[in-house]
Amino acid sequence: MSLGLNGSHQSALLLQEFVKGNETFQQTYFKKHEAQLLNLVRDGQNPRALFIGCSDSRVIPDLIVQTRPGDLFVVRNVGNFVAPYKPDEDFHSTAAAIEYAVHVLKVSEIIICGHSHCGAIAALYDSLCDLSMIHTRKWLTLGEKAKSMAIAALGENVPQEELLRATEHFSVLTQIENLLTYPYVKTLVEDEKLFIHGWYYDIETGAIDYYDPDTKQFDPLSDLAE
């Protein structure tokens, strides 16, 4: 039985690129920061923030905020969605990451970061025809509330791109709502021991906006430095 291992010539060329990339990493970045990286091995990780982002290959958390290894505990999934708390013993990848980050790593911040031109959000307006994609279809239902909010706010007759951008923003807020259904998260937030942040990354400019609950709008993240 073939598992597709060491398959096509194209695949082999891609793997060669990865090999060269790892060699470059070892010879440059790892060698330059070896002491810091070995400290993380000896002392373990102690990230301050859990970053919940999208699996989109254009959105790389450590790159867009220039963090170092050990700074962020990262979970990425399609659409940067958070499923509501469900206290059963089924498989819940994102929930497990939240649980581990809060209980074991004891992070003080959780960042939910959406982004522009998100394929998951676009798929909400373009029904998937492939019925075999059962997991994707179910997962995308986590974006339906944001879609309804965007349509209610703008109407259905606005340009599609405007509706998509609004849905992306509303989705950040609805995922925060879902995150607060986790009892231990809600308790720590109420006790001001854990803080939740809603971010929106614009892949066309590299800029990040944050949600201000007081003004109920997204403002430039750079404003926080002023």
Catalytic residues: 54, 56, 58, 115, 118
- Please, are residues 114 and 171 in contact by the beta-carbon 8 Å criterion? yes
- Please, are residues 209 and 121 in contact by the beta-carbon 8 Å criterion? no
How do 72-77 and 109-115 pair as beta strands?
Answer: unpaired
Residue 157 φ/ψ, nearest 5 degrees: -95, 5
The whole-angstrom separation of Cα 150 and Cα 169 is 9
The whole-angstrom separation of Cα 46 and Cα 66 is 17
How do 109-115 and 49-54 pair as beta strands?
Answer: parallel
Residues in a beta bridge with 201? 115, 208
Q: For the chain, what is the largest distance between any 2 Cα atoms, rounded to a whole number of angstroms?
A: 60
